[in-house]
Amino acid sequence: MWGAENAAGPGEFYVTDPDILVKKWLDTDIDEWTRRVVRRTFDPDDGSPYWLSRRERLDFDPYDITRHEELAAFGPFPLADLRTVDPADLVPRALRRPLAGRVWDTGGTTGAPCRVFYTPAMLRHRAAWRRWSFVHEGFEPGRGWLQATPTGPHLIGHGAWEVADLYAGLVYAIDMDPRWVKRLIREGRPAEVERYTDHLLDQITDTLDRRGIDYINTTPALFAALCRRSPEHVAALAGARLSGTQINAAMHRDFRTALDGGICGISYGNTFGNAAFLGDPEDGGPLPYMPNYPQVTMAVVRKDDWRSVVAPGATGQVRLTVLHDDLFLPNILERDQAARHIDTEWPCDGVADVRPLQIANTAPEGLY
């Protein structure tokens, strides 16, 4: 019988120091974990229907994979498949059918969204890492939050649950459809982009005018717009937690100044996997992130050769691998570039100074 990915049950998060959970995961041998996930995924009877259907087209036996680095044999994962495949087919049959839970969408920057199913164990793993970040960044439990992020089918909106159930917070929220903004950008309608941004800022400031909100969880782009329009609202906050790709050291410094002593926590990631911020750079150095290991690993590879990892500190394209018990997505080539970052506590590489690989109206990042 396969376990629930070494994840604690929901109740354990209230009594377990998140450092204990994270240390347990960081002590995991990545090669052993890789063998575990690959064997579960390709089990002839209980494996993933999607991967079992692809097995005969592979020129190797997946059971011969014994080390994490050998996952390169699968090649880059075809993200286009996630636009058409039933998300349930990616999940091993070891989970009883019919599946019950949420299907999450990507932002649909370059077309129809990709969709993946998250099991309860996957959500707990994500939430535990998020709680670890809250603690290390200095956010206090039991405070009031405003969730000003994409909503509906977007996993980032699940942060409202994580704050409420995981950190005993009282959470307000706004409505936000990031796909609409990206569509407006692609169609060359900047006036309407500005109008929709104003609509979001109206929701945010209206909510912040209520007493009892200490922290905001939003994207760097939307927070920058809030700083420009309503600096007094920002200065009154005890902190902000920002998730997205468009942030650099100068922006982070400006955000901390705007918060007037408040906390500015950040994270990097998407629907497939996240990475935790390691702390404020002391000397204006890079902004480093480490992945939510071992279920998420990252590498920085040459833009012209996805197999070749760049030297530490060098810049390349982000390559992400998802190794959940119930979701296997090897070698996702992200639309982001970053510097390769190494931390002695992590058994895998991290990233620093993340930014879009390219910015164009055909593939806009919008309010992320």
Q: Per-residue pLDDT averaged across 62-88, rounded?
A: 97
**Do residues 54 and 321 make contact, with C-beta atoms less than 8 angstroms apart?**
no
* β-strand pairing of 239-243 with 327-341: unpaired
User: How far apart, in whole angstroms, are the C-alpha atoms of residue 302 and residue 321?
Assistant: 16
Q: What is the pTM of this model?
A: 0.91
pLDDT digits 0-9 by tens, 76-85: 999 999 999 9
Mean per-residue pLDDT over the chain, rounded: 90
Which pLDDT value is given to residue 82?
96
SS3 15: coil
Q: Which residue has tokens 């906390």? A: 263
In terms of Cα–Cα distance, which of 129, 125, 168, 178 is closest to 145?
A: 168
The one-letter amino acid at 281: P
Which pLDDT value is given to residue 341?
96
User: How far apart, in whole angstroms, are the C-alpha atoms of residue 158 and residue 170?
Assistant: 14
**Do residues 340 and 313 make contact, with C-beta atoms less than 8 angstroms apart?**
yes
Least confident of 109-113, 167-171, 206-210, 227-231: 109-113
Helix (H) or strand (E) holding 247: none
User: How far apart, in whole angstroms, are the C-alpha atoms of residue 219 and residue 213?
Assistant: 17
